[in-house]
Homo-oligomer: A and B are copies of this chain.
Amino acid sequence: MESGNDNELVRNKQVILKDYVSGFPKESDMYVSSNGTMKLKVPEGSNGIVVKNLYLSCDPYMRSRMIKNKAITGNYYIDSFKPGSKGDLVWGRTGWEEYSLITDFQNMFKIQHTEVPMSYYTGILGMPGLTAYAGFFELCSPKKGENVFISTASGAVGQLVGQFAKLLGCYVVGSAGSKEKVDLLKNKFNFNEAFNYKEEPDLDAALKRYFPEGIDIYFENVGAKMLDAVLLNMKAHGRIAACGMISQHNLDKPEGVHNLMHLIYKQIRIEGFFVFDYDHLYPKFLELVLPQIAEGKIVYVEDTAEGLESGPAALIRLFSGLNIGKQVVFITQE
């Protein structure tokens, strides 16, 4: 966080979205502008702060911000960030640029723990981490011994949900889109089982193989065909946390889900959520996760692109599933 008396005008490279996107986004939908400049001094009369961005985050939800008039509603309550002093480290929602002027502190958290990589605040200790925590513990009411299935399980959120579930004593299976990711799930994150959905001609059969007794909890990141197969395999009183439906992001007409009758047959609850509703849990979440990180009981895999210029490509890679783990863009060390 930079603030105060600096009147210097600095270059401020920015990633700019050219126009609203339909269909699969392309790298060329964005460009890096080097024309921007920014005064490090906060404008007269503003109580904002200037932050220098160290890492940027690539997340699936960003696709839905590329559409015109796409209303995403909800409460965005966060304990207000109290503007601190020059040199403070913060994380939160900024632009894709080198420097950002922040005037709405509700989107900012002060970083208190610096013994971890700073990139963690785009992932395990940031929005995806809190998403995994709130979605799993608050929405899914998990119990020891329950059967948990996670789609896009090696992603920024999925890898954590699986590790939380394992720590609780659940049986955990994840799906992902490559052999490398499946290996990661089984060997690095200690999932009980994992499979490559691209090699399964019949998702229903795959789920029956891994869950002969059915699924208690499904952490939904995919939608459509996977959700349809899951609905056939849920147990009575199963819970589904709908975190994302990445298979649908780039379609103009979303695919149909046909098996919703099973919500009734098996008294299933499905709940969509945004992490913004759970920001008040952040301190409790840190309390759980920091010691686990320190003891190596929770690990986190990142896929880091170097430089703001690599941002557009990194985001497109995410939608193609080419990233391994949390996709981060590194801008500068300090």
> What is A's interface to B at a CB cutoff of 8 Å?
64, 70-75, 223, 227, 235-237, 242-245, 248, 253-274, 277
Chain B nearest CB, measured from A227 CB (Å): 7
A274: which B residues are within 8 A, CB to CB? Answer: 264, 267
CA–CA, A73 and B266, complex, Å: 6
A260 and B236 in contact (CB under 8 A), knowing A265-B72, A269-B269? no
Output the residue of A227, A243, A264, A269 with the most chain B CB within 10 A: A264
| B261-A248 in contact (CB<8A) | yes
Pick from B253, B261, B263: contact of A270, CB under 8 Å: B263
CA–CA, A103 and B274, complex, Å: 49
A75: which B residues are within 8 A, CB to CB? Answer: 236-237
Pick from B237, B254, B268, B271: contact of A261, CB under 8 Å: B254
Sample (22) of A-B pairs whose CB atoms are under 8 Å apart: A70-B265, A71-B265, A73-B235, A73-B236, A74-B236, A74-B237, A74-B267, A223-B260, A244-B264, A245-B264, A254-B259, A256-B256, A256-B257, A257-B258, A257-B260, A263-B270, A263-B272, A264-B272, A264-B274, A266-B272, A267-B271, A270-B270
A261: which B residues are within 8 A, CB to CB? Answer: 223, 245, 248, 254
A74: which B residues are within 8 A, CB to CB? Answer: 236-237, 266-267
CA–CA, A248 and B262, complex, Å: 11
Chain B nearest CB, measured from A250 CB (Å): 12
A273: which B residues are within 8 A, CB to CB? Answer: 264, 267
Q: In this complex, what residue of B is CB-closest to A277?
A: B267
| A242-B264 in contact (CB<8A) | yes
CA–CA, A274 and B267, complex, Å: 7
CA–CA, A64 and B235, complex, Å: 18
Other contacts beyond A74-B237, A244-B264, A268-B272: 15, CB < 8 A: A70-B265, A71-B265, A73-B235, A73-B265, A75-B237, A245-B261, A254-B260, A255-B258, A257-B257, A263-B270, A264-B273, A265-B272, A267-B272, A267-B273, A269-B271
Pick from B227, B235, B237: contact of A260, CB under 8 Å: B227
A237: which B residues are within 8 A, CB to CB? Answer: 74-75
A256: which B residues are within 8 A, CB to CB? Answer: 255-258
CA–CA, A64 and B253, complex, Å: 31
A257: which B residues are within 8 A, CB to CB? Answer: 256-258, 260
Output the residue of A255, A267, A272 with the most chain B CB within 10 A: A272
A245: which B residues are within 8 A, CB to CB? Answer: 260-261, 264
Pick from B227, B253, B263: contact of A242, CB under 8 Å: B263
A71: which B residues are within 8 A, CB to CB? Answer: 265
CA–CA, A257 and B267, complex, Å: 18
A269: which B residues are within 8 A, CB to CB? Answer: 269-272
| B236-A264 in contact (CB<8A) | no
CA–CA, A255 and B260, complex, Å: 9
CA–CA, A255 and B259, complex, Å: 9
CA–CA, A242 and B73, complex, Å: 23
CA–CA, A255 and B223, complex, Å: 16
Q: In this complex, what residue of B is CB-closest to A262?
A: B272
